[in-house]
Structure 1
Amino acid sequence: MDPVPSSSTFPDALRGKRILLCTESFGPVNGVSRTTLMLVNHLRSNGANVVVVAPHTGETTFVPTPTPAPTSTAAVPKLGPAPTADIRIHGYPLPYNPELSIVYPVRLSVLYQRSFGAVPDLIYLASPASLGFQVMLQLRQQPAERQIPIICNFQTDLAGYCAILFPPPFSNIAVLAFAKVQSFLFNHASIKTIFYPSRFVRRYLEEQRVQPDKLDVLQRGVDTKLFNPARRSDELRKEIAPKGEIVLICVSRLAGEKGFGFLADAAKELDARGLSFKLYIVGGNRNTAVETDIKQSFEPLTQQGKVIFAGFRTGDALAASYASADIFLHCSITETFGLVVLESMASGVPVVARDEGGPSDIVRNGETGYLTPPADLGAFVDKVVALATDDALRKTASANARRQAEEATWDRINNKVAWRMAETIDQSQRERAELHARNKAVPQDGGHQGQSGPEDRPAQGGTSPGDVVQAQISDMRLAGGILAISATWVAVGAYLVFIKLGMYVKEAVRNWFTSGGTR
């Protein structure tokens, strides 16, 4: 990709443009959705016309706060009637994470009508999955003159999640299916840019044979005012560690793919080595059965008061939790970036992480924390003990972490996206104008004009054998894509039903034993 202009400014050309932003989750649900929310607020506050399409579930529906008026002094075009609201669509909530859903079929034309009442200038897909796949597949069916440019932000390793959550051979089938689907969709001409957050993700996309000129690195920013060492709370520390124990923290959704099995083993090893610590785990899961399983894996340390589950935290409470800790422990190996790592560093808390995925590009080993081999529990525990028992080392790492985080601002990150959007829209408009001019240049009698070749002319009055073959090939590819996506979601859906039944039975058995075998 060509370098974008200075990310210190917002492109005037994007003000008033219609952007349809489709995301698999929206709001303060996780790092990915918080990143999307920051982008939406930035675009709107600078005059871009953004409508968000996202699923809602029965468990929770996030309603964004009103967007502030544009802060720029540049003139903002009048947009006419504003879109009524962001669009919430229905889906089947995932048993392990009800905040996320498999979106039911939705027509792109309906989204156009409900959003702007017209075709948008650009479509932005945040972490494309069930919703993003549908959008990309439907756009493939449109003729060239009706193609809308797409920018994707690849933030979620779906294949990695499947490899962890599904047992063999289902995991192998799911990983292969996702790879085929993503390769099929991402290689289409309508996909202009795929942002990726780390080298780990780029390698994966290159393995799917995505064209290198479409790939552009996009890391994340952090709110250094909110996440700040000044948020450290002596009161909270006394509540967590009344005897002055070292405070270890983990901020994550409670789910199997987040590495909690590894974290539980690490906590037990730290206890066996005699380290005086408290492990403060911030996060939860709307599915109580999943949350209960995670908590039980830390026994007996939880009963002994060495592991504390704080539940969900947001805003000031979350910032205080980070800043009041001494060391952040990151055990997930499926993170494409790892926003919590950057938030911890902004809070002046060094990080010990497994050297896999996004955190490998964030943590500067030996400076802002440590990276250890993903499967080496002993090395992970060694680094935690080293930081916990050396105040000077921990203080130096804390200062280094804060300095590094101060280099990553949301304005610069989001302006980079905005410039790419503006350039993509401009390029798309020029290409459509050239296509329109070529079509107009073709005489109605079917003759030649100028240097236009057969490939420049629409079919007149009939269809050549070559056109028929080309159409059949196109139909076969489209059918293959539909079949692959359908098979993927049918398999996932069937397995989700199986999981839900299993969790229901497990919860019933647990309740039966808890009640002493009586009703």
Structure 2
Amino acid sequence: MASKDSPSVTMVENTAAAFSAVTQGPLHDLSKFPERLRGKRILLCTESFGPVNGVSRTTLMLVNHLRAHGANVAVVAPHNHTKVNTFVPTVVSESPSIDDVPLNPEIRIHGYPLPFNPELSIVYPVRLSALYARTFNGHKPDLIYLASPASLGFQVMLQVRQQPAENQIPVLANFQTDLSGYCAILFPAPFSDFAVYCFAQVEGFLFRHPSVQTIFYPSRFVRRYLEKNRVAPEKMQLLRRGVNTEMFNPTRRNEMLRQTLAPSGEIILVCVARIAGEKGFNFLADVATELDRRGLAFKLYIVGGNRNTAVEDEVKALFSDLVQKGKVIFAGFQVGETLAESYASADMFLHCSITETFGLVVLESMASGVPVIARDEGGPSDIVDHGATGFLVPPADLEGFVNKVLLLVGDTDLRWKMASEARRQACEATWDKINNTVAWRMLDAIDKREAALDEAQFEELAEEDEQESAREREPLLGYPSGTKLTTAEMVAAQKKLEPPSSWQTWAQSIDTSLVDARLTAGLGIILGFWGIVGVYLIFIKAALYLKGRVRVM
């Protein structure tokens, strides 16, 4: 019998996994938005909010959904160094503020763009109080949401945990990027092992704190990673992504595009991904080379790019022979209807990345009525229903991957059957239900904190009443004249009225200093790690520049 994680997992199991979020935590009607979340202040911090990638698209959908239903969402993100494809939320406020609290503000903070992916930045040190001041005019948010936390999210979580318990704003995090997986690929050994270890320790340390109420995860692959880092199961909630089934639709199939790409009726294979080494292009190049060796008449249409032209050129060099033969075509960045047509006009979608926590492009391909062949690692393992909507192949099985492509090439009926089932399954993933899942979790976290504050306030009032009653029973030095007190009572009463001694004041200052020291040390560790990464990335950037100069000469 197949194992739970094998490609032969049944459709019933996949469907149950996809919607298991409904049964986690308090039961809510996910077809409805929680009314009491209207007007709540939400500080949303994201590592990117502008370039076209799956995380940014998912975050934008959530921001628009929350704002459309009346939540006050402040977006904090690094500056967009690419200067193109900037997202503009569709929901804007009619008035700039209510009661001196800005509505739906968006602020950009400074950071250093990563050389291999300028869409992401290492954010410079920022204080949480400064974020409160710049977003809600100094008012604290009701909740903090971290989209794929990295350099910005780590700083926010660390500073929240250093606050007194009554000042700790509840945090929800969406784990959407496998940073440790990227490190394992981008860094040479033994630095890769060290980087993976550091990320695991930092993430586990931050995620385990009580202030972090929920960690959304997109696949079993990510859940296993969180469990390994000892994150409490009750904090974790499965959260799939939705897909725009009107935009990504089989009706977008463009026969003119197909004729342009494959004038002789060649099979059209499409791959949509950022052009970077961690996206599995080495494997894809080997697949294409083997298909060519076996004599298949095909066109591989690669959609995507990289703002760092040196990285893009390095990947393109892997396909140079096939490009010259006209079998591989690089389309560059695409968005909107152009991208939708590229999906729908293909015969099958090839996904070779093994670092995806979800793989939104896989779902978009399925919505476009195109079967998927993917390596069985990461998020796509939970999206593709093996044998029904496509095929999952062991990550290192090049021959198996090629054989699945040839199988679908030779069996048109199977290909169309998979295309129909892929579309049907994709239509079940609606953004409204997914974003309402997040909204209800937000309200649950806010309600939990307000209940804890009410309980603490009640206990404080009860304690004050008790102290007042004690003072009335034992007014100490305020006894009416004639009241006789023992010597011990007189000494105890006198001590209570005396100001704290110098050593007591010194001890209190030490305690405050320790809190500041812990915050400074924690930030130092995180920023030190980012500093080491930055130095290494500067080295990579210089090496790519020199390599590009040599190539030109």
Q: Same fold (TM over 0.5)?
A: yes
2:38 aligned residue (2, 15, 23):
15
State yes or no: 1:51 paired with 2:71: no
Distance of aligned partners of 1:66 and 1:97 in 2 relative to their CA distance in 1, 3 Å threshold: closer
Distance of aligned partners of 1:275 and 1:13 in 2 relative to their CA distance in 1, 3 Å threshold: same
CA distance in 2, matches of 1:259, 1:98: 19
Q: What's 2:124 paired with?
A: 104
Asked if structure 1 preserves the Cα contact closer than 8 Å seen for 2:51 and 2:87, the reply is no
Distance of aligned partners of 1:412 and 1:366 in 2 relative to their CA distance in 1, 3 Å threshold: same
Offset from partner CA, 1:300-331 (integer Å, 9 cap, x none)? 00111100000000000000000000100000
> Per the alignment, in what secondary structure is the counterpart of residue 98 of structure 1?
strand
Q: What's 2:205 paired with?
A: 184
Matches within 5 A, 1:317-328: 317-328=338-349
CA distance in 1, matches of 2:254, 2:345: 6
Q: What's 2:409 paired with?
A: 388
CA distance in 1, matches of 2:455, 2:438: 26
Structure 1 residue runs of 5 or longer lacking an equivalent are 71-76, 450-459, 513-519
Q: How far is the alpha carbon of 1:472 from its aligned partner?
A: 9.2
2:302 aligned residue (281, 305, 329):
281
Offset from partner CA, 1:248-300 (integer Å, 9 cap, x none)? 00000000000000000000001111111000000000000000001010120
Offset from partner CA, 1:453-484 (integer Å, 9 cap, x none)? xxxxxxx9697999999989877865663343
Q: TM-score, normalised by structure 1?
A: 0.91
State yes or no: 1:508 paired with 2:549: yes
State yes or no: 1:94 paired with 2:94: no
Distance of aligned partners of 1:62 and 1:121 in 2 relative to their CA distance in 1, 3 Å threshold: farther
Matches within 5 A, 1:254-269: 254-269=275-290
Asked if structure 2 preserves the Cα contact closer than 8 Å seen for 1:150 and 1:192, the reply is yes
Distance of aligned partners of 1:61 and 1:301 in 2 relative to their CA distance in 1, 3 Å threshold: closer
Asked if structure 1 preserves the Cα contact closer than 8 Å seen for 2:51 and 2:80, the reply is no
Q: TM-score, normalised by structure 2?
A: 0.85
Q: What's 2:335 paired with?
A: 314
Report the aligned-residue RMSD: 2.5
Offset from partner CA, 1:165-224 (integer Å, 9 cap, x none)? 000111111101101110111111110000000000000001111111100000100000
Q: What's 2:267 paired with?
A: 246
After TM superposition, the structure 1 stretch with the greater mean CA deviation from structure 2, 199-208 or 51-60, is: 51-60
Offset from partner CA, 1:219-259 (integer Å, 9 cap, x none)? 10000000000000001111111111000000000000000
Asked if structure 2 preserves the Cα contact closer than 8 Å seen for 1:57 and 1:91, the reply is no
Distance of aligned partners of 1:381 and 1:464 in 2 relative to their CA distance in 1, 3 Å threshold: farther
Q: What's 1:231 paired with?
A: 252
Distance of aligned partners of 1:237 and 1:461 in 2 relative to their CA distance in 1, 3 Å threshold: farther
Q: Percent identity?
A: 62
Asked if structure 1 preserves the Cα contact closer than 8 Å seen for 2:354 and 2:395, the reply is yes
Q: How far is the alpha carbon of 1:439 from its aligned partner?
A: 2.6
Offset from partner CA, 1:10-68 (integer Å, 9 cap, x none)? 00011111101000011352011100011101111111110100111432265443534
Which letter maps to 1:233? N
Asked if structure 1 preserves the Cα contact closer than 8 Å seen for 2:73 and 2:105, the reply is no
Q: How far is the alpha carbon of 1:388 from its aligned partner?
A: 1.4
State yes or no: 1:158 paired with 2:179: yes
Asked if structure 2 preserves the Cα contact closer than 8 Å seen for 1:228 and 1:348, the reply is yes
Asked if structure 2 preserves the Cα contact closer than 8 Å seen for 1:60 and 1:99, the reply is no
Structure 2 residue runs of 5 or longer lacking an equivalent are 1-23, 471-498
Matches within 5 A, 1:409-448: 409-443=430-464
> Per the alignment, in what secondary structure is the counterpart of residue 70 of structure 2?
coil
Matches within 5 A, 1:402-481: 402-443=423-464, 478=519, 481=522
CA distance in 2, matches of 1:32, 1:69: 21
Asked if structure 1 preserves the Cα contact closer than 8 Å seen for 2:81 and 2:119, the reply is no
1:113 aligned residue (113, 117, 133):
133
After TM superposition, the structure 1 stretch with the greater mean CA deviation from structure 2, 419-428 or 483-492, is: 483-492
Q: What's 1:209 paired with?
A: 230
Which letter maps to 2:550? V
Offset from partner CA, 1:390-449 (integer Å, 9 cap, x none)? 101100000010000010011110011011111111111111121222233333996898
* Higher radius of gyration, 1 or 2: 2
CA distance in 2, matches of 1:397, 1:57: 39
Which letter maps to 1:236? L
> Per the alignment, in what secondary structure is the counterpart of residue 329 of structure 2?
strand
Distance of aligned partners of 1:79 and 1:195 in 2 relative to their CA distance in 1, 3 Å threshold: farther
> Per the alignment, in what secondary structure is the counterpart of residue 45 of structure 2?
strand
State yes or no: 1:488 paired with 2:529: yes
Distance of aligned partners of 1:344 and 1:176 in 2 relative to their CA distance in 1, 3 Å threshold: same
Q: How far is the alpha carbon of 1:84 from its aligned partner?
A: 7.0
> Per the alignment, in what secondary structure is the counterpart of residue 419 of structure 2?
helix
1:146 aligned residue (164, 167, 170):
167
Q: How far is the alpha carbon of 1:487 from its aligned partner?
A: 3.0
Q: What's 1:29 paired with?
A: 52
Distance of aligned partners of 1:448 and 1:175 in 2 relative to their CA distance in 1, 3 Å threshold: farther
> Per the alignment, in what secondary structure is the counterpart of residue 301 of structure 1?
helix
Offset from partner CA, 1:130-159 (integer Å, 9 cap, x none)? 000010111111111111000000000000
> Per the alignment, in what secondary structure is the counterpart of residue 99 of structure 1?
strand
CA distance in 2, matches of 1:372, 1:207: 25
Asked if structure 1 preserves the Cα contact closer than 8 Å seen for 2:304 and 2:331, the reply is yes
Asked if structure 1 preserves the Cα contact closer than 8 Å seen for 2:49 and 2:80, the reply is no
Q: What's 1:453 paired with?
A: none
> Per the alignment, in what secondary structure is the counterpart of residue 53 of structure 1?
strand
CA distance in 2, matches of 1:260, 1:268: 12
Asked if structure 2 preserves the Cα contact closer than 8 Å seen for 1:57 and 1:92, the reply is no
Distance of aligned partners of 1:81 and 1:355 in 2 relative to their CA distance in 1, 3 Å threshold: same
